[in-house]
Amino acid sequence: MHWQPTKQHHISLHTQIVEWIATRIASGDFPIGMQLPTQRALAMQFNVNRSTITSALDELKARGLLEAYVGRGTFVTASPWHTLLPTPNWQQHINDSIHKPNIDTIQLINDYEPNEQMIRLGTGELAPSLLPRTALQQSLASITLDEKLLNYCEPQGSIALRQAICAHVEKRGIITTPRNILVVSGALQALQLIALGLLQRGSIIFQPSASYLNSIHPFQSAGMYMRTLDDVTTLTSLPHAAQSLYYAMPTLHNPSGYTWTDEERKTYYTVCQKLALPILEDDVYGELSFQPTQPLKAIDTTGHVLYVGSVSKTLSPGLRIGWIIAPEAVITRLADVKMQTDYGSSTLSQQLVTHWLTSGKYDAHVATLKETLHVRAQFLHALLLHHFQDLASWEQSTGGFYIWVRFHEPVIQKSLFLSLLQQNILIHPGYMYELNDFHHIRLSYAYASFDDLTTGIEQLAKAIKRRTY
């Protein structure tokens, strides 16, 4: 919904809005049964006064296209042609369907992130200036397209890439073979495939309290349950009759930034092993630790750990390349599910990543990137000290993108999110990662420029201190 009425138009704002909505309804874009956004949200989207919205909606109600139900909102009730031609009830299809919708805040973030005017204070991606665009461009000109790879790919992904990944993860202590690797379209797809290929409805996913997993729904949409488990040693037996899984981010947990000590690694591994509880290790930030760390997978001798990595946080998320490392039977199964899901990942992306991993360009780039991120982390830390020393607490970053700030008061409300959005500032509130957590905010030093960080944090501080939302 990025359309906006034009102010200098000879047709009034009111009429432009009425006609636009009526056309959306007539074309089936706004199907019968669809709920319209709130008046406040519409006013924001169209950049007009609330009163203009009210009058436009009134006209549409008078025309019989909309109806408002007290306490429930405004809905599309008819379409200009619906008495003549029956049409699928798309809204009903959507409401009844399987996959959970993203929470509203995340949908808004997804919609507004591409807008270049936004100051993005919490985003999970690198600033364009930290991406090696020129070098990537050069490699495009220099790699020779493999004829075979223009066609459908082998189920597990290109063998050249799997060999390159083998050599790459060995540097962090993981000894494996290409047969134990599945190339996926990013770490997110890895979670999706594991849900569909290894778990059942009713399976339980254990995870620490605040978790990235609460901001997406691969497991919940497949009928699985999420259980908070902050101390794995408190678990003495597994729930009956369901294949469970422990979802862990041992290095640079998202959002908390926490990295397990060597001892914690051993404890978690031993306890999960005793319980025969497989561990899903999400290591997408692992290579960005400022101190050397080892993945849990490096101490796994019994095929207990499903390991997930990706180039999204280091090289380029647009490439959509990640990997799963697991016992061969698991990989064969997940490769079969992937073949039924999307017939493999872009082979163009695969070739480019192979080239970067094998040429040394990747390692050189990551080394520089870590230094840059370290400087940025210190900059954000200084800003936070300046603005929030008395209001909040946080740890200094040890790597990755984020600082997880806890305000003493529950000030990180949805109204703060919306109010900052109106000032073109996007934040990632704690409630995205843990329902009803209004104390935390995930701040990222990876994306915004120093200027934008300074302005953005200043505005955030102002809003919080003056309670302007």
Which residues of the chain form contacts with ligand PLP (CB under 6 A)? 124, 186-188, 212, 249, 254, 282, 284, 310, 312, 317, 322, 343
202: how many CB neighbours lie within 10 A of its CB? Answer: 13
CA distances from 447 to 2, 110, 239, 254, 373 (A): 24, 15, 42, 16, 10
Amino acid letter, residue 245: L
Does residue 342 belong to the site contacting its own copies (CB under 8 A)?
A: yes
Tokens in use for 275?
């319980």
* DSSP for 142-197, written as a single string: HSPPPGGGGSPPPTT--HHHHHHHHHHHHTTT----GGGEEEESSHHHHHHHHHHH
Q: Please name the residue that has the structure tokens 């139900």.
A: 69
SS3 247: strand
Report what 96 binds from its own copies, ligand PLP, none; CB cut-off 5-8 Å by kind. its own copies
Residues 6+ apart with CB under 8 A from 44: 421, 422
Q: Which is nearer to its own copies, 92 or 413 (CB)?
A: 92
348 near its own copies (CB under 8 A) = yes
**Rounded-to-integer distance, Cα 274 and Cα 351, Å:** 41
Is residue 446 a contact point for its own copies (CB under 8 A)?
no
Is 201 a binding residue for its own copies by CB under 8 A? The answer is yes
Distance CA 459, CA 424 (A): 10
299 binds its own copies (CB under 8 A): no
Identify the H or E element spanning 272: helix 262-274
Query: CB–CB of 140/338 below 8 Å?
Result: no
Contact 216, 105 (CB under 8 A): no
Measured from the CB atom, the residue of 288 and 411 that comes closer to its own copies is 288
Least gap, CB of 49 to its own copies (angstroms)? 25
Establish if 72 lies at the interface with its own copies (CB under 8 A).
no
Q: Which amino acid, 398?
A: T
Query: Contact with its own copies (CB under 8 A): which of 344, 400, 429, 456?
Result: 344
Q: What mask, x for binding its own copies by CB under 8 A, covers residues 127 to 166?
A: -x--x-x--xx--xx-xxx-xxxxxxxxx-----------
x/- site string to its own copies, residues 109 to 128, per CB under 8 A? -xx-xx----------xx-x
Binding mask 449-468 for its own copies (x = CB under 8 A): --------------------
310 interface partner picked from its own copies, ligand PLP, none, CB below 5 to 8 A per type: ligand PLP
Torsion of CA 38, 43, 45, 47, to 10 degrees: 180
Nearer to ligand PLP, 25 or 284 (CB): 284
- In the complex with its own copies, the residue whose CB is nearer, 223 or 239, is 223
Contact letters for its own copies, residues 379-418 (x by CB under 8 A)? ----------------------------------------
Smallest CA-to-CA distance from 359 within 369, 371, 351 is with: 351
End-to-end Cα, the chain, rounded Å: 24
Smallest distance from ligand PLP to CB 249, Å: 6
The residue (of 78 and 339) whose beta carbon lies closer to its own copies is: 339
Least distance to ligand PLP, CB of residue 250, Å: 12
| Token digits of residue 399 | 């790597």
The number of residues that bind its own copies (CB under 8 A) is 107
* Between 217 and 439, CB nearer to its own copies: 217
Which position among 108, 339, 391, 421 is part of the footprint of its own copies (CB under 8 A)?
Answer: 339
d(CA 185, CA 168) in angstroms, rounded, equals: 18
In the list ligand PLP, its own copies, none, the entry touching 85 (Cβ below 5 to 8 angstroms by class) is its own copies
